[in-house]
Amino acid sequence: MNGAQDLGGMMGFGPVVPEPETLRFHADWEKRALAVTLAAGAMGVWNIDTMRHTRESLPPAEYLSASYYEIWAKALANQLLADGLVSREELREGHAQEPPRPVPRVLQAADVAKTLAAGTQYERAAEAPAAFARGATVRTKVFHPTHHTRLPRYARGKRGVVEAVRGVFVFPDTNAHRQGEHPQWLYTVRFTGPELWGEGADPGLTVSIDAWESYLEAA
């Protein structure tokens, strides 16, 4: 979707200021926001792409004025509401007012470490050969969906070169909306700065993007 999260190439947001790699959190509540979001995701009611879309769906003014974990917390509340796991009254009051709705799984404290270490497998078996090989010249398609997509707005309709064929993975555009996994081949495609941003762009700049097969066509 063309949301507030898709900022590539836009101006007026100030410089990117990297923080030390060791700085994970700015306050204790951010640790709790991460923990609660991961625990809620482990219930199996939604998937990672669903939650990404929910974050992207925050109103632009709200999204752009919130910190990273504020976005996580706001999106989690919205997702819990959407799936009927909490009511607005419960969120406002801060405690349950109705019996909990059954969920597929409950993450127990003793299982947290091994669950996080295992992660979630999104690679799938190939059912057809890859349409593109390493070194192929491709062009990304131009589309502006209201649903979730992993193809950035600034990279649509652009010519690039396949630098790696990654395998077959769950397609996020459908998975986010519970419309099935529809696995596709995934490629890393390299673009030049001038191709993405035109005249005046750094000629030595390259940007690599992971793109699913349905995003691409032969150039």
Sequence ranges of the domains in the chain:
28-118, 123-218
> What CATH number belongs to 123-218?
2.30.30.50
Q: State the pTM of this model.
A: 0.92
Rounded Cα–Cα distance for residues 183 and 192 (Å): 28
Domain 28-118 shares a fold with domain 123-218: no
Q: What is the DSSP secondary structure assignment for residue 146, as one 8-state letter?
A: S
pLDDT by residue (tens digit) across 132-181? 999 999 999 999 999 999 999 999 999 999 999 999 999 999 999 999 99
pLDDT by residue (tens digit) across 65-106? 999 999 999 999 999 999 999 999 999 999 999 999 999 999
In 3D space, the residue among 43, 1, 19 whose CA is nearest the CA of residue 148 turns out to be 1
For the domain made up of 28-118, give the CATH fold: Cyclin A; domain 1 (1.10.472)
C-alpha pair distances (Å), 57 with each of 48, 75, 147: 14, 8, 9
